[in-house]
Amino acid sequence: MAITFYYGSGSPFAWRVWLALEHKKLDYEFKLMSFSGGDLKKPEFRALNPRGQVPLIVDNGFALAQSNAIVEYLDEQYPATAPLFPGTTRARAQVRRWIADLDDNFNSTLNQLTEAVIWTKPELRDAVKIDAARTAMLTELDFVDAQMGGDFLAGDKLTAADFALYPMLAMLARCDLKKPDLGMVAACPAALAAWAARIEGLPYFAKTLPPHWKS
């Protein structure tokens, strides 16, 4: 029986699971959930995940939420497929360290920017808040750029850490669309921009683009 993958378009956390499924070449049934349509509030979905959030997978009757738990589960449950936590114990610890750091720091900084630019109506935007959020985001980008371990975040091999960062980094382009003079993509450090291009060059990358972004 294939894995059932419950996804919400534009969710960076759901996107990292989608990338993991494709990277590991696992069979799955794709369930696109509508935020505006109330799909996450339906009793049948809440029975699987009482939090009413995506991502969620169901694998042979086993329901699991939370993106990091899902990615680690897929890697351990299907070890014969391409690994997302490769190498030694210490190498795998570095991947987990990257993910925790990104979720604690990069994501919180990004949330300040998206709240100020994407989720606030243009006429209500606060220029001071936007400038502060942009400055904080640039500092975070420089930090990540300086800490990269090779062609990929944790070294020379693609890992779960890369799939944790890319969907969040992609939100900067969405911010630029909402406010073109923001210039977040253009301000991305060179090594990090080259890394993003490597992720975008993966053969399965285009398939995982959020459906509503394609339009």
Q: pLDDT tens for residues 164-187?
A: 999 999 999 999 999 999 999 999
Same domain, 62 and 103: no
Catalytic residue among 11, 34, 108, 215, which? 11
Same domain, 77 and 108: no
pLDDT mean over 35-40: 94
Q: Which of 52, 84, 116 is the last residue of a domain?
A: 84
What does the alpha-carbon distance between residue 165 and residue 143 come to, in Å, rounded to a whole number? 13
pLDDT of residue 181: 96
Say what the pTM is.
Answer: 0.96
- What's the whole-number average pLDDT of the chain? 96
Structural domain total, the chain? 2
Looking up residue 46, the CATH number of its domain turns out to be 3.40.30.10
Residue pointed to by tokens 């369930």: 31
Q: Catalytic annotation on 215?
A: no
Q: List own/partner pairs for 94-100 with CB under 8 A and 24 or more apart.
A: 94/149, 94/154, 94/155, 95/154, 95/159, 95/160, 95/161, 98/153, 98/154, 98/159, 98/161, 98/164, 98/165, 99/68, 99/160, 99/161, 99/164
Model confidence at 32, pLDDT cuts 50, 70, 90, reads very high
Same domain, 80 and 145: no
